[in-house]
Structure 1
Amino acid sequence: MTVPLRRTLPKRPGRARDACRARRRVHGPLTRNVLLAAAALPAAAAAWIGVTGWLARSELLAVQHDLTALRASVSTAAGTHPAGAVAAGSPAESAQERLLRSAAAHAARAHHLTTGPAWYTAACLPFLGEPLHTVRGTAEAADRLIGEVLSPLVRVVPRLSADAHAGGIPRVLTDLESQAPAFERATRVAAEVRDDAHRLPRSTWLPAADRARAQLSDQLDRLVPQTRDVVVAARMAPSMLGAHGPRRYFLAFQNLAEARGTGGLPGAFAVLRADRGKLSFEHFGNNTEMDGVHADVDLGAEFATQYGDNGPGSVWANSNMSPHFPYAARLWTAYWRTLTGQRLDGAFAIDPASLGLLLRATGPARMPDGTALTADNAVNLTERDSYAKYADVAARKAFFVEAARAAAGQLMHAADDPRTLPALLSAVRDVQREGRLQVWSAHAAEQRQLESRPFGGALPDRPGPFAGLVVNNAAGSKLDYYLDRSLVWAPGACTATGRSVTVTVRLTNRAPASGLPGYVTLREDRPEYRTQPGDNRLLVSYYAGKGASLTGATLDGHQVELIPGVERGHPVYTLDLELPRQSSRTLVLHLQEPQADRPPTILRQALVTPMLATVKPAAPCGP
């Protein structure tokens, strides 16, 4: 028998409603709990992030404390341990290992505290998550920086020190060469960490996070070039120091009292021999040996146009007018080959300020007449006092050679002593940092690496904003001891082809009105106009960025014409400038720079008084 449809339909909705009510009775409390938990989750996540963020901050502060102590420990060990050495297994070494391990542990904990779903999700939130993104990135960067960059660099120092004691310099060179792959890995990681740090938000609603990011970026910007220098040293120092066969180099001592493009006039010089790390000098001389000698080397049509036929290749005193050190080095080695027939493997250049920094690490040198050449008097004694002491030019040149010989002997003694070697290497780094050490290799593979580093002394030929002030003494005097220089690079309005830039150069001659020896104030240029003792004359050259053009220039507020030129793709604008004693001159250049959207690379010519350079900020071009 069939059941009537109209009798069954009404009952189904009732049963359905009862079932829904039953489910609500069963699941109602669970649903409410889920909703309450969901509502509380953001608050819990915020609390978790707050607590772990505070803990991570404490860990990062501990990292900073450990690294500061580590730097102080390294400096103290190099400066106060007998003769600057840190022996393997010494307490200083153990302290450095402990500090490094402590910093690594704190950094790892900070990284761990800022990972996980809550941090990942919150850091992805627009605006609110930006400082959390910065904190996470900073903690990760610190962890990688210490574990993968600083650890292999710091831990190799005791090993090299132990090698110096056990097997001498040859053993050090062998081990240094073997460490090059590890240094290269550390450099790659440092560059990756720097790039990651630069991609972090720069400006958020949390100033503390912004400051931490800025400090990290600044440290990485300094560290990455230093790690690259370490790689170049590990790759090249062994071969350049004769690990695979003897090498010979031309070593020029530049006289900063008479300015040249690479620093100062090449006065005294030496031929240096390197054999399995053992350094010795085969010859000392001065510029009079190069009288009448010519350097037969082709540096290209651009160089010949810029400096003329009767220039660097024909007159020794003009051999380093260009600021591009490889040009000077090639000329110097060519001069020596013409004079002696001997091929050299490269060239170095240092100056009295360099000797002062090096003697601070090794102790004073004693000259044959009993004069002490020290860190404090090296510049004044050779660049000023010797001119008053020796009226005879030949005697003064001999004094300069003896000063170079005495300093070189002291440095060689320090290089042979494992106890003084660490302090000496630290001083070499300081010399390089000030731009007072320049190196060139006649071996193409080595030179390619050298030219990419600051101590290669190369005028860069890549595009980008650039500002280079170079002075060459045109009077034949020794008055550049008293020269002050300043440069202000000020970006202006954006244009269709780039940006306008105003460069203000100020030069001051502090030479006294009386009391200077005639050789110092000598005017070998014999100008047709009247001059006073102490008046100077300079060829002032400004090197702009590739593709830049000069729209106008003034000297002390009056329009002036500059001589245009080109060197390694850089436009060069030169002024023949008379600079009277106790006076200042102001040169203003108005330029159009095609790529002035970032600060320029500054060329710093190393003279007695460093140049004061100021770069003013620029507003970005474009929408």
Structure 2
Amino acid sequence: MLIVLISLIVALACIGGWVAYQAVQAKDALERAQGTVATLQTELTSVDLMTLDVSSLTASADSFAADVSDAREHTNDPLFKLAENLPTLGPNLTAVRQLTDSLDQLSTEALLPIVDFGKTLTPDALKPVDGKFNVDLLRNGDTALQNADTAITATSASLASIDTTDTIGQISSAKTTLTSALGKAQKQIVTVRGTLGTVEGMLGMNGPRHYVLAFLNNAETTGLGGGPASLSMLTVDNGAFAITDQASSQDFPTTKGPVMDVDANLLGIYGQGINQTLNWSTSRPDFPTAGTLIKGWWEKYKGGTVDGVVSIDPIALSDMLQATGPVTLEGSKEQVTAENAVSLLLHDIYLRYEPSQIQASTDAFFKDAATSIFKGVTTTSAAPDALLKSVNKAIDSGDLMAWSANADETKLLEGTKLSGVMPTDNTKSTLTGTFFRDVSVSKTDYWLETSVNLQTDVCSNPNNPTFTQTISLHSTITEEEADTLAPFVVGVNFKGRKFSTEVYGYGPIGSTITGTQVGDSSVGGSPRTSSEDLGRPVGRAVVDLAPGETNTVTFTYTGAAGTYGPPALQVTPMINTTATAIDAPGCK
């Protein structure tokens, strides 16, 4: 639009000395403004607050505003305005002046206030202080956007009043272009304000919110990483947050039937335990399912209303402690560090107590650890960019997930790894999943090593692709350890004689499972019936391992003709990271 105005001013410069001079000066100013438009568009659409160059954005906005204001000064010169009375040429001059006035109005009343607000969006300002978010920052942002919305409405009204009936086509086109741009900007502001409103709700700015923090125990694996061994109620009120209640998995009975009804297909795949045992609520590799079940457990046996569920495991805590530094537990006074968090919380703690005391003592320890670590992480003076990096790593690896009972909040999570939802098509990637669930009722996945190899010809044969998952499980526990460790650790079902793990293979969307094979084992293991879940074929096998033994499972799938993205693997977050490999000839 600025280019059109510049061209018009050049054409109008022929009307005489002083008016021509004003026209040339306006042209030069608008050309300078035009040069900053692309930079402003890039800077204003940046969503990475950690890399946003606020000083550069401010300089660009100030430069744009100054140049447009300069152009407005020249087009509002008395002689320029006097020339607007000339026949034929006059209406064109008037329209150019009014369009320039509109740009200046937009700059001063919308752009500059938003940029001023942007200066406050620093990582330090966004970081919680003493257990509270800076909610005034959000309120100020909403006010700035509301004022910008009002300014755009006024500018649009000014544009609508510009008479282009007797002007050349370029001027009418410029008016149309600017009007369209303002409409798009206004829609974007409405969207952003809606997002801010949702975030304000999440932070308890419209009334307290209650979220269950589920601390998953990867030593007893389930599809999403581990059962929720320890739960804390996080209450958020006007940005201030605190743990207001706690529970262990033992506070939720397993003998009173299902906590809620689930689809019969899920019961066929995962058994009745998925909705009758809190620890198995995370069996399905779909966090909304887990969140709904955990909400049901808490509300039924603890009371109140749960607005959402967040899961985190010791692996994620270890990542965060890399940024925050050690945390001292309030009860035992020992330090939890990035180096010892996983071993302490998933192994060492079980070796401290007599067999009869393990369960009660570890429950008390985990409550202390949950409170102390949460306080340490949320009141840290760590660099915000380092903490955000660790959080992103935990999200990417599936060690941190979130679910909300609020539909608007759910939309914010859609399409992110934080949601814990597998893709619903093969467009961006052709995902194959491998998930594990301990059925020994043990804590021995500390000694479990796993690997997954995917072989596929999907890139060279998209009309009839095949996918083969080869999954290896190896127990590193020794017979001596299995014989001497408490049944609570090695498993009450088999008491260390063997360790039993269910393996679930989820094929690509739209494929069918064509084979399941389980390798040899001295203590058992077998394939089970296949099924379908989340739009994917599901293979299931039970792998039994004696101490020190290795076994394998192979699932094969055939895909229909279609469009496939590059092959990808998703696996259960394990204490010992699963080694993965993809063999896909022809793929980039």
Q: Are 1:479 and 1:520, in contact at CA under 8 Å, matched by a contact in 2?
A: no
Q: 1:470 offset after TM fit, Å?
A: 0.4
Give distance in 2, aligned partners of 1:478 and 1:314: 20
Q: 1:233 offset after TM fit, Å?
A: 8.1
My pick for the range that moved more, 233-242 or 454-463, is 233-242
Q: 1:566 to 1:273 in 2, by over 3 A?
A: same
Give distance in 1, aligned partners of 2:389 and 2:141: 16
Which one of the candidate residues 416, 420, 440 is aligned to 1:453? 416
1:518 aligns with 2:518: no
Give distance in 1, aligned partners of 2:120 and 2:572: 34
Q: 1:258 offset after TM fit, Å?
A: 0.4
Structure 2, unmatched stretches of 5+, are: 1-48, 61-114, 147-191
| 1:262-295 residue CA offsets vs partner (Å, 9 max, x unmatched) | 1112101101001122110111121111024555
Residue aligned with 1:354, SS: helix
Structure 2 counterpart of 1:278: 240
Structure 2 counterpart of 1:480: 445
Q: Are 1:543 and 1:571, in contact at CA under 8 Å, matched by a contact in 2?
A: yes
Which one of the candidate residues 325, 329, 344 is aligned to 1:363? 325
Which one of the candidate residues 103, 125, 139 is aligned to 1:161? 125
Q: 1:510 offset after TM fit, Å?
A: 1.8
Which one of the candidate residues 107, 129, 135 is aligned to 1:170? 135
Structure 1, unmatched stretches of 5+, are: 1-72, 76-92, 103-150, 182-229
Give distance in 1, aligned partners of 2:126 and 2:468: 54
Q: Are 1:248 and 1:271, in contact at CA under 8 Å, matched by a contact in 2?
A: yes
Q: 1:361 offset after TM fit, Å?
A: 2.6
> Amino acid of the residue matched to residue 550 of structure 2?
S
Residues 422-501 of structure 1 aligned to structure 2 (within 5 Å): 423-463=386-426, 465-492=430-457, 498-501=464-467
1:347 aligns with 2:309: yes
Q: 1:500 offset after TM fit, Å?
A: 1.9
Q: Are 2:227 and 2:278, in contact at CA under 8 Å, matched by a contact in 1?
A: no
**Could you tell me the percent identity over the aligned residues?**
24
Give distance in 2, aligned partners of 1:302 and 1:254: 25
Q: Are 2:198 and 2:408, in contact at CA under 8 Å, matched by a contact in 1?
A: no
Structure 2 counterpart of 1:581: 547
Q: 1:565 offset after TM fit, Å?
A: 1.5
1:608 aligns with 2:575: yes
Q: 1:153 offset after TM fit, Å?
A: 13
Compute the TM-score of the two structures, normalised by the length of structure 2: 0.65
1:617 aligns with 2:584: yes
| 1:278-324 residue CA offsets vs partner (Å, 9 max, x unmatched) | 1101111211110245554333333233233x322212222221111
Residues 561-572 of structure 1 aligned to structure 2 (within 5 Å): 561-572=527-538
Give distance in 2, aligned partners of 1:232 and 1:253: 31
> Amino acid of the residue matched to residue 605 of structure 1?
T
Give distance in 1, aligned partners of 2:325 and 2:372: 12
Residue aligned with 2:231, SS: strand
Give distance in 1, aligned partners of 2:249 and 2:344: 19
Largest Rg, 1 or 2: 1
Residues 78-477 of structure 1 aligned to structure 2 (within 5 Å): 97=55, 157-158=121-122, 161=125, 169-174=134-139, 236-291=198-253, 292=255, 296-308=259-271, 310-367=272-329, 368-391=331-354, 392-393=357-358, 394-414=360-380, 423-463=386-426, 465-477=430-442
My pick for the range that moved more, 261-270 or 502-511, is 502-511
Structure 2 counterpart of 1:57: none
| 1:39-59 residue CA offsets vs partner (Å, 9 max, x unmatched) | xxxxxxxxxxxxxxxxxxxxx
Q: Are 1:488 and 1:616, in contact at CA under 8 Å, matched by a contact in 2?
A: yes
Residue aligned with 1:571, SS: strand
Residue aligned with 2:467, SS: strand
> Amino acid of the residue matched to residue 549 of structure 2?
S
Q: Are 2:490 and 2:496, in contact at CA under 8 Å, matched by a contact in 1?
A: no
My pick for the range that moved more, 461-470 or 268-277, is 461-470
Give distance in 1, aligned partners of 2:267 and 2:575: 29
Give distance in 2, aligned partners of 1:468 and 1:244: 40
| 1:543-601 residue CA offsets vs partner (Å, 9 max, x unmatched) | 00123222233333899744201211211100011022222222222321225743234
Give distance in 2, aligned partners of 1:436 and 1:179: 36
Give distance in 2, aligned partners of 1:162 and 1:252: 24
Residue aligned with 2:276, SS: coil
Give distance in 2, aligned partners of 1:256 and 1:159: 32
Q: Are 1:489 and 1:614, in contact at CA under 8 Å, matched by a contact in 2?
A: yes
Q: Are 2:455 and 2:467, in contact at CA under 8 Å, matched by a contact in 1?
A: yes
Q: Are 2:262 and 2:275, in contact at CA under 8 Å, matched by a contact in 1?
A: no
Give distance in 1, aligned partners of 2:145 and 2:446: 41
Q: Are 1:500 and 1:591, in contact at CA under 8 Å, matched by a contact in 2?
A: yes
Q: Are 2:310 and 2:402, in contact at CA under 8 Å, matched by a contact in 1?
A: yes
Give distance in 1, aligned partners of 2:196 and 2:276: 37
Q: Are 1:164 and 1:172, in contact at CA under 8 Å, matched by a contact in 2?
A: no
Q: Are 1:498 and 1:596, in contact at CA under 8 Å, matched by a contact in 2?
A: no
Q: 1:442 offset after TM fit, Å?
A: 0.6
> Amino acid of the residue matched to residue 615 of structure 1?
I
Structure 2 counterpart of 1:106: none
Q: 1:495 offset after TM fit, Å?
A: 6.6
Q: 1:177 offset after TM fit, Å?
A: 6.2
